[in-house]
Amino acid sequence: DTAVSQTPKYLVTQMGNDKSIKCEQNLGHDTMYWYKQDSKKFLKIMFSYNNKELIINETVPNRFSPKSPDKAHLNLHINSLELGDSAVYFCASSLAGVGEQYFGPGTRLTVT
């Protein structure tokens, strides 16, 4: 019973392509997040949705567009991929107002 799942686990693509990462949680949480982790393990929040509504939008290029079709799903679409987008992207979920977040296994994106 995977709590927070992401697909794909690995994604290798060329510069300029468009790609999507999907996330699903079965914990009944109402808030979901996307994080980017760089090669030095630094973790940066990108977006957060609460009940399908965007509540956190950090300084992220417009090429990144999140979409939440329902409370259990949060997808991340990336246009015109660049070398600097190479990283591990983590999805997480929580209950609003409760700090504890549950993380997915990550998607390692490599842009060549």
Partner 1 sequence: GNSVTQMEGPVTLSEEAFLTINCTYTATGYPSLFWYVQYPGEGLQLLLKATKADDKGSNKGFEATYRKETTSFHLEKGSVQVSDSAVYFCAFDTGANSKLTFGKGITLSVRP
Token couple for 45:
């929040």
| Window contacting partner 1 (CB under 8 A); options: 20-28, 60-68, 70-78, 86-94 | 86-94
Q: Is 101 in the site for partner 1 (CB under 8 A)?
A: yes
Shortest Cβ distance from residue 3 to partner 1 (Å)?
A: 10
Instruction: Give Cβ neighbours of residue 26 (< 8 Å, ≥ 6 apart).
Output: 1, 2, 3, 72
Cα separation, 31 vs 18, in Å, equals 26
Torsions phi, psi for 95 (to 5 deg): -90, 140
Q: Could you say which of 12, 26, 55, 63 contacts partner 1 (CB under 8 A)?
A: 55
Residues that bind partner 1 (CB under 8 A): 4, 31, 40-43, 45, 48, 50, 55-56, 90, 92, 94, 96-106
